Amino acid sequence: MESKVSEDRKRNARLQEINESLMKKVKDLEGSKGSVRKKGKIKEVKQENQRLVKEVQELKQNLRDAQKIIEVINKSYDTLVESSRGFEEKTRNLVDINDRLKGHLMLLLKPVRDINV
Helical residues (DSSP H) of the chain, grouped into ranges: 2-31, 36-116
List the domain range (segments joined by +) for residue 21.
2-116
Interval 54-65: pLDDT, tens: 999 999 999 999
pTM, two decimals, is 0.51
Number of independent structural domains in the chain: 1
Q: What is the pLDDT of residue 117?
A: 57
Q: Cα–Cα distance between 11 and 55 in angstroms, integer?
A: 10
Of the two residues 112 and 11, the one the predictor is more confident about is 11
Interval 83-115: pLDDT, tens: 999 999 999 999 999 999 999 999 888 876 667
In the predicted model, what is the mean pLDDT of residues 31-49? 74
